Amino acid sequence: MILVVVSSIIFLDQLSKFLVVRFLQLNTPVSLIKNFFDITLVHNRGAAFGILKNQLFLFIAISFFTILFIYLHLKNKNNSFLLKICLSLILAGAVGNLIDRLRFGYVIDFLDFHVWPVFNLADSALTIGSLLLSWELLFNKNVS
């Protein structure tokens, strides 16, 4: 199950980025819902919200350590199903963005809701996984 979740998210993330790069021009929005949602190709050289720009080595190192930590934690047979899903989402998101950093030196973002910085599917997986993990850690007394 973990392998299916992780590989599916990575595949969809990389496919969507490939298509955006192939068909869009950098920083040129394509409006899908006027004044609300655009597809805008952006090269993000920072972390969330573009902070710490041009710290490529730092982001690659953090990604490798995060991926290793999550992989080792996923091997724990006592983890709940929800915890495994949370970690799988975070793992997939970290791998998706790491692929971009290793290939291009930046992350490809394109989902532009106007009220939030531009992001991608890997960012969505990271965010959803982190929110679910927070819930699990706060409310499940059996999390190891």
123 as an active site residue: the answer is: yes
Q: Which of 13, 38, 112, 123 is catalytic?
A: 123
Catalytic residue among 13, 38, 109, 112: 109
Whether residue 72 contacts residue 122, with contact meaning beta carbons closer than 8 Å, is answered with no
What distances in angstroms separate CA 78 from CA 54, 74, 82, one per listed residue?
39, 9, 12
Provide the annotated active-site residues. Answer: 109, 123
